[in-house]
Amino acid sequence: MANSPAHLLLITTGGTIAGRAAHAADNVTYRTGELTPADLLAAVPALAGVPLRTRALAQVDSKDMSHALWQALVQLLAVELARDDVTGVVITHGTDTLEETAFFLQRVLAPAKPVVLTAAMRPATSLQADGPQNLLDAVTVANTPGACGVLVAFGGQVHAGDEVRKVDAYRLQAFDSAPAGPLALVEEGRVLPLRPWPQGVALGAVVCDLALAQWPRVGWITSHAGFDAALVDAAVGAGFDGLVLAGTGNGTLHADLQAAAERAAAAGVALRISTRCASGRLVGDAPRGAPASAEGSAAQARVALLLDLLAKAATPSTPSSISA
């Protein structure tokens, strides 16, 4: 496609923001991913004059987000961000795994242009529909001079893609990035910066050039009272390449989980320790049976370990057709 006048790209992937329910009072039993990009834009009259191009990539409930879709999204973004006429990208996404996708994209691409994810906690048919305002805010952020990196615009706040967490299952203010807090606020069409935009060194899209069959198997297991070590032993027996162990408190592990982790490590499984707590990072150097993750949540730690193993699997001779 020949370059056109400067514009934003809107990529849709489904989620509640594109969902419909049988009646306006139903905020739970709706169907996700039913609205088209044109439907989403039509609900926000203020976007009528904004230069936008759209691309419907998927129509999924983000609880079912896949590595295949991540790979397709990275490949699409790398191509689009390289275009001089694309000034930024907005991605609509479900809330359930948004923090994982945002973390993945920031680590892989660390884009110099803004890539802003947004979502909704209420379907488009709801009396409390929050999708239109969140989409407007995301476009506003993507059009902000100097904005860069993977960002999440939600509920009037802007979060860094590698810090954001979903912290509530139902209320509209469902995301946070404690302890640092949001990067910016969006108020009546104005972006009010609080902290610098995220910077980083891209891990390189080469890791996404590997066939999906070559992607390592990485999961996470949570420590809890009465832990059954069979969970870890089964994962090792099933051929998992890596495991994140979400410990209690400051990464502490049930004694049976720690013993199982030591067996897993001896079998060659890569391990990271995280926390099952809603916020905070691991502190101190107390031995936990495996390296502590630098990431804030178990979900982010799993993506980080996945990327570490992908990078090791990608040989220097692996051709990469993408750059960001």
The amino acid sitting at 216 is P
CA 205 to chain centre: 16
Torsion of CA 19, 20, 26, 27, to 10 degrees: 10
Question: Which of the residues 16, 32, 87, 118 is marked catalytic?
Answer: 16
Element (H, E) at 104: helix 98-109
Instruction: Name every residue whose Cβ is closer than 8 Å to that of residue 72 and which is 6 or more positions away in sequence.
Output: 57, 58
- Bridge partners, 51 (sequence order): none
Helical pair 67-81 and 98-109, crossing angle rounded to 10 deg = 50
Q: Are 53 and 70 in contact (CB under 8 A)?
A: no
Distance from first CA to last CA of the chain, Å, rounded? 18
| Residue of 117, 279, 309 lying closest to 219 (CA atoms) | 309
Compute the half-sphere exposure of residue 50: CA atoms within 13 Å on the CB side of its CA: 26
Active site residue 54: no
C-alpha to C-alpha distance for 153 and 135, rounded to whole angstroms: 8
Catalytic annotation, residues: 16
